[in-house]
Amino acid sequence: MRITVSHAPQPVLAFAAAELERYLGRMLPPSGPDTAFVLALRPARAGENDAFRVDVSPAGGIIEGNAPRAALLGVYDLLHALGCRFFAPGRDNELVPSIDREALSARYEKTASYRHRGVCIEGADSREDILAFIDWLPKLGYNSFFLQFKNPYAFLSRWLRHEGNPLLAPEHVTAADAEAVMDAAQGEMARRGLALHKVGHGWTGEALGYEALSWTPDDAPLPEDMRPLAAEVNGVRSLYKGVPADTNLCLSDPRARERFISLVTDYARSQPAVDYLHVWMADEYNNVCECAKCRQTTLSDQYVSLLNEIDRRLTAAGLDTKIVFLLYQELLWPPVRERLRNPDRFVMMFAPISRTFERSYDPDAAGAMPPYVRNRITLPGSLEENTAFLRRWQTVFGGDSFLYDYPLGRAHYGDLGYVHMARIIYDDVRRLDRLGLHGYISCQELRAGSPNFLPNYVMGRTLFDAGADFDALVEEYFAAVYGAGADRARAFLSALSENDLCDYLNGHGPRQDPAAAERAARAAALCREFLSQPRPEGAAWERLAYHAQYAELLATALEKLARGQMAEASAAWRAMADFIRAGELGYQPWLDVYRVLDVTRTYTGFSPEA
């Protein structure tokens, strides 16, 4: 087999060639006539999304992309057409069939449906988790990855310190350790040509003199010379609940503005590899500055003013780094007077963190946007109200944009079958055009794989091809993972999903809820029935049985909570926690124990000590 690249040296094309050779070497007979492939580039047309052309035969052929990354996507798409299935992160989690050389015949062209197709890191993650996920992304058609904060310390430290799992000995981790993981992650992204998104959280804390690499409280008191820069809330200027990353600034203070702007512009100058630099305010709400000067305007007006100055300085420095600004918490309300002067610099990110996941968006059903009241806002829960904020922002900004959503961040733990959440994602993605958005980044745990990684599989393939058929995607996924028992596995998980409790687990609605209790009881019964019957052998079925045990315990705890039986609910939650803590090392890539326990304590309402 001979594979050449049309633009050498080109590292992404070289990687694509190595991947094509590696997989076809496993798939094709070891002997036979020689085959010759070419990986090529063509110029991208203005505004064109990732696109590629595949024209191959048993003798070889060409895979041509409109960018190096697109050629790699074309390689993986051809492998998918030949029967490969990449059903989870990690090279042990793929199906690579043997084929006859005559099967190597395909001629087609594809263009991605959306410009932005990515995932943002969350949860508790090892170095191996992060690198395996990056390796997996382009195999499903994704084109970007978002490393929150300036490095992944928050996520790496949760894993290495084994937060939430006292059965595992904590390991020491430093910011330097996280920098090393970040460098490795960015290197693997560069090999694949993935767009690099960075930072977002931490700017305000850093402007106050803190490192701000996580959401944890800082014991160091706010320095007196920094106190005037912090937001005044209820007459006090201090760290909000002790957390620098959650503390807003007094943006009418010239020194606070200058420190913030300089941090962003200096970072952009020092990080030319960053494609999309996220510039956000504090990650809490109802804590914006109440001083007399700040009260004369809105946070969104102050924010846009900051962004305009950042753009001016980056333009003067000759930098074309894209700046991502967000619609989130107070910033859901658009500015009254200020407007972005250079829209081409900016990408708008709509982040409806408080939305329901019981149904998908209806782009034609925008609700009313409530008036803004400083430090008295309530986050919108309905899809209609969330859409109203987006529509209002779209009247003042018409540039590039994407949805930053949370289907695998919290609510997914309430869908014990994952079929419901996969469908919500599918429908949301297919409606992005009608929402006026150009893509989707999922803010999520990387270890969202129990019972399986179906939601991420559907997400990636539908973001690339919005015309994909949901049932066909589910069928091919279950066939790849569960083999001859695919129908049985799908029936079990679909039945669990019919009793989903996404909103209830995510803290929506009253905690005493008879209907939720009945759904939880049915889910637990389905798990018991599944576990009582013989099952096929194999790793996927072992994982499914493990998931059924965990799901029965969690569903039982949810039932007790929804019935108001608090002592029983706490005992059931502890039983679930003990089970997944004990099994974490064996199932580490598939279930994020830290995040399960954190979400169910913080949002669902369990009180383990009761």
Residue 362 has pLDDT above 70, yes or no: yes
Kindly report, residue by residue over 450-484, the tens digit of the pLDDT: 999 999 999 999 999 999 999 999 999 999 999 99
Average model confidence (pLDDT) for the chain? 97
CATH number among 3.40.30.10, 2.40.30.40, 3.30.379.10, 3.40.190.10, domain 2-110 = 3.30.379.10
pLDDT above 90: residue 449: yes
Q: What is the predicted pLDDT for the residue at 593?
A: 98
Residue that has been written with the tokens 């300089």 in this structure: 262
- In order, the DSSP letters of 170-225 are -----HHHHHHHHHHHHHHHHHHTPEEEEEETTHHHHHTT----SSS--SSPPPTT
- Which pLDDT tens digit goes with each residue over 542-554? 999 999 999 999 9
Note the pLDDT of residue 544.
98
Give the pLDDT band of residue 402 (cuts 50, 70, 90).
very high
pLDDT per residue over 282-319, tens digit each?
999 999 999 999 999 999 999 999 999 999 999 999 99
Confidence bin at 33 (pLDDT 50/70/90): confident
Question: Number of C-alpha atoms within 13 angstroms, CB side, residue 104?
Answer: 27
pLDDT at 186: 98
CATH architecture for residues 116-198+255-280+302-481: Alpha-Beta Barrel (3.20)
Q: Note the Cα 182 to chain centre separation in Å.
A: 17
Per the listing, tokens 């949301």 go with 428
Average pLDDT over residues 217-224: 94
If DSSP codes are grouped into helix, strand and coil, which group holds residue 511? coil
Average of per-residue pLDDT across 323-338: 98
**Does the pLDDT value for residue 445 go beyond 80?**
yes
Model confidence at 609, pLDDT cuts 50, 70, 90, reads confident
SS3 readout for 87-152: CCCCCCCEECCCCCHHHCCEEEEEECCCCEEEEEEECCCCHHHHHHHHHHHHHHCCCEEEEEECCC
Please calculate the CA angle 500-558-609 and round it to the nearest 5 degrees.
150
Chain centroid, CA 227 distance in Å: 35
31 pLDDT band (50/70/90 cuts)? confident
Taking Cα atoms as reference points, which of 517, 509, 525, 608 lies closest to residue 568? 608
Taking 80 as the threshold, does the pLDDT of residue 335 lie above it? yes
Q: What is the pLDDT of residues 48-61, one digit of tens each?
A: 999 999 999 999 99
Q: Which of 89, 51, 93, 55 is nearest to 73 (CA)?
A: 51
Could you give the CA distance from residue 211 to residue 421 in angstroms, rounded to a whole number?
36
Provide the token pair at 372.
């803004």
% of the chain beyond a pLDDT of 90:
97
With 70 as the cut, is the pLDDT of residue 245 above it? Answer: yes
pTM: 0.97
Provide the pLDDT for residue 490: 98
**Distance between CA atoms of residues 437 and 454, nearest Å:** 24
Of 602, 603, 598, 505, the C-alpha closest to 551 is 505
Domain ranges of the chain: 2-110, 116-198+255-280+302-481, 482-604
Which residues are within 8 A (CB) of 521 and not within 5 positions of it... i.e. 6 or more apart?
Answer: 555, 559
Compute how many other C-beta atoms are within 10 angstroms of the C-beta atom of residue 5.
Answer: 20
| Dist CA 356 CA 407 (whole Å) | 10
Q: What is the mean pLDDT of residues 565-588?
A: 97
How far is residue 454's CA from residue 479's CA, in Å, rounded to a whole number? 12
Residue 610 predicted with pLDDT over 80: no
